[in-house]
Structure 1
Amino acid sequence: MTAALRMLAYGVVADFMDEYVRIAETTAITSMKKFVAAVIAIFSEEYLKSPNNEDIAILLAHGQNRGFPGILANIDCMHWKWKNCPTTWKEMYCGHIREPSIILEAMASYDLWIWHLFFGLPGSNNDINVLEQSHVFSEFAQGRASVINYSINGHDYTM
């Protein structure tokens, strides 16, 4: 667990754990996989889920009350600087900030509940490229997203 937490907290690779925790790279990778599996098993039902119909109704009602009918959440793409980017990948991950970065797409509701995260695309992508690869939009395009009906200025919308 120490290896997994250290790898996550400091963004170090598995073979770095040999110096600090005195375990081999393969053991560190196995530890990370078990840690991630445990987090998913413990938290997936409540925290790692898409909004259900009840959640959608609450979010739509809150948006309506605030003057934003039909809004579920806000989506944003952010660039995170990648300090330890491998030299061979540097050009691919350099975007508008001229330093390697990884893009994080996040969708959060008014209560700061994070409904969606998509992380790891190269920083050289712009927001449109990220959205085209986003799981949120692919779910909608494949007809698996929840149906949402709302009306603005007398016009009815279903998406």
Structure 2
Amino acid sequence: MRRDLFMRIHDAIISHDRYFVQRRNAAKKLGHSSLQKMTIAIRMLAYGVTTDFMNEYLRIGERTAMDSFIWFVKAVVSIFSAEYLRSPNPEDIARLLAIGESRGFPGMLGSINCMHWKWKNCPNAWRGSHNDINVLERSNVFANLAEGRAPPVNYSVNGHDYTIRYYLADGIYPSWATFVKTIHAPQGNKRKNFAAAQESARKDVERAFGVLQA
């Protein structure tokens, strides 16, 4: 994680919750710093390590590690959910379309990837009931588009005008107008160049999901 991003989150959670402010205990001994507590939480999220691992890495006990993890997650959701855990607004859409066009895909809002996350203690009745495709079918990502409430998008490709925004997807997804999929076993330079560009752009979401799943 970049230092500026780390410090932005750090400063926000300190202002949000006194748990992260370093203070002295009843014995006047200085407690763990906010940087230690935040580092613990992020390492547990990123690497899936257990709380006792933190004692060796940062000299912090299991109880404090777990408390830091819980308070950190609650603080991040409370502070940033209104900005990041929501549907894109018109300004977001304009920014995403500009990014897509700069990468050679006019009209692209981004890449899509549905992930079936195995739940170890899932009730028996639910086991095996979901895969990537029916996760997609239960998603509300395309609700506005299906209901005709999506903002219009106008762009041209090879002299043809289009109004439907789209996402890059891999070959497993259905052939919907809002998906632009890669070309399996492309033949010829034109198709090979397209497949390479499409798969390169999709690496962003695949890497992000890989970190979340880990």
TM-score, length basis structure 2: 0.38
TM-score, length basis structure 1: 0.49
- Flag the structure with higher strand content: 1
User: Which entry has the higher C-alpha Rg, 1 or 2?
Assistant: 2
- Flag the structure with higher helix content: 2
